[in-house]
Structure 1
Amino acid sequence: MTHSAPTENSRAKNAHANSALILIDVQRGFDDPSWGKRDNPDAEANIARLLASWTGPLVLVRHDSTKPDSPLRPGQDGNRFKPELDGANADLVFAKDVNSAFHGEVDLDAWLRGRGITDVVLAGIQTNMCVETTARVGGNLGYRVKVVLDATFTFDLEDLTADQLSAATATNLRGGGFAEVVSTDDVV
């Protein structure tokens, strides 16, 4: 059996071959002031860094809110992806109206398994909502999950600050064995 060397343009040329980068809800609607105070002002820059360096399969997930007053509702400017995703050469783009990307318009689990993907790298918005829920479900499904915490952000909620919520997410994911929490520098 003869094996040919991978080409320079091959998306599977490195350690990302069995990994997919999943960017969750990186949408303009999260810039709406109604969300309140957010953490991690560098999240979008880190998402752009991930995107620029990624060579494996890329999945973009969009939240299509069913709430009539949501800036994430389809048909609203806020439903569009943020500029950092402009020109992204995604292998899969789909919408969801719940927290987990595994429960959207596409059977993400089947799509990943059909491509031999065993590892998922997650980033996006909101840290403690859709990113954490997707990580938990992915971990439960048997994927090796990495959450790039500095490429996520969230908002103050009830009595907790966005920073506290992000720290709690990291603790939940690590402590519960759902995911490894990493930085952008760890991935790029």
Structure 2
Amino acid sequence: MASALILIDIQAGFDAPVWGARNNPGAEANAARLLAAWREMSAPICHIRHISTEPGSPLGPGPGTAFKPEVAPVEGEAIFEKSVNSAFIGTELEDHLTHSSLGDVVICGLTTPHCVSTTTRMAANLGFDVRLAHDACAAFSTNADTGWADGLAPLDPQTIHDTAISHLHGEFCRAMTTDALLIEGP
């Protein structure tokens, strides 16, 4: 059985300037390459949409929750909506994967240290074999509204991304490039 591709929160709201500087401007293009390969192989696909409950969030109900066009779902692809970091909390994702006899997942999306990391950790803890397309993910430097913790210096988005990936790789997933995943296939 093929692995399920899980695309996390690749939404218009992440184009808002409030998020700060971003790494990996090619993340969406890499996610679109994975999505095209999964569709070509008729492999399972799960789209995750974050709908924030925070007042004024760019991901709150409205245009910010729209999937970016390059990874927009087509008819028949599963969509799960969440309001927390993990795609498994408050959704039917685990049941969907389990009832479809899917034990392997490939994860990509936004943002690396938040919803991608949390979902990757939880997927591994639930017993799924996880591959993470690290170059189909991206991180932001800071949220301008909250600033930095007292006594800590800001980190650039690439450092944040790389640190999050290094914490996940080996224990919770195999972090791989999109090219390597395309060679392995679904």
Q: Distance in 2 between matches of 1:171 and 1:61?
A: 23
Question: SS where residue 34 of structure 1 aligns?
Answer: helix
**Deviation of 1:135 (Å):** 0.3
Given that residues 58 and 89 in structure 1 are in contact (C-alpha distance below 8 angstroms), is that contact kept between their aligned partners in structure 2? no
TM-score by structure 1 length? 0.86
Q: State how far apart, in whole Å, the 1-side matches of 2:73 and 2:119 are.
A: 24
Sequence identity of aligned pairs in percent? 44
Q: 1:93 aligns with which of 47, 67, 79?
A: 79
Report the 3-state secondary structure (helix = DSSP H, G, I; strand = E; otherwise coil) of the residue aligned with 1:121: strand
Higher relative contact order (CA 8 A, sep 6+): 2
Answer yes or no: is 1:142 the counterpart of 2:142: no
Residue 116 of structure 1 corresponds to: 101
Matched position secondary structure for 2:59 = coil
- 1:125 equivalent to 2:120? Answer no
Deviation at 1:91, TM superposition (A): 2.8
Quick check: 2:80–2:93 contact (8 Å CA) kept in 1? no
Alpha-carbon separation, structure 1, partners of 2:73 and 2:54: 29
Tell me whether 1:39 sits opposite 2:33 in the alignment: no
Q: Return the offset for 1:87.
A: 5.3
Give, as a single letter, the amino acid of the residue that structure 2 aligns with 1:21: L
| TM alignment of 1:56-75, pairs within 5 A | 56-74=43-61
Distance in structure 2 (CA, Å) of the matches to 1:186 and 1:128 = 22
| Change in 2 beyond 3 A, CA 1:87/1:22 | closer
Deviations 1:130-175 (A, max 9, x none): 0010000001011100110000111003421111111111111125
State the alpha-carbon separation in 1 of the partners of residues 174 and 164 from structure 2. 11
Give the aligned CA root-mean-square deviation in angstroms. Answer: 1.3
| Change beyond 3 A, Cα 1:129–1:143 | same
Structure 2 equivalent of residue 22 of structure 1: 6
Tell me the equivalent position of 1:183. Answer: 177
Deviation at 1:28, TM superposition (A): 0.1
Q: CA deviation at 1:90?
A: 5.0
Gap runs ≥5 in structure 2: 143-147, 149-153
SS in 2 for 1:101: coil
CA distance in 1, matches of 2:122, 2:80: 17
- Is it true that 1:80 corresponds to 2:75 in the alignment? no
Q: How many residues get paired?
A: 169
The TM-score normalised by the length of structure 2 is 0.87
- Which position in structure 2 is the counterpart of 1:48? 32
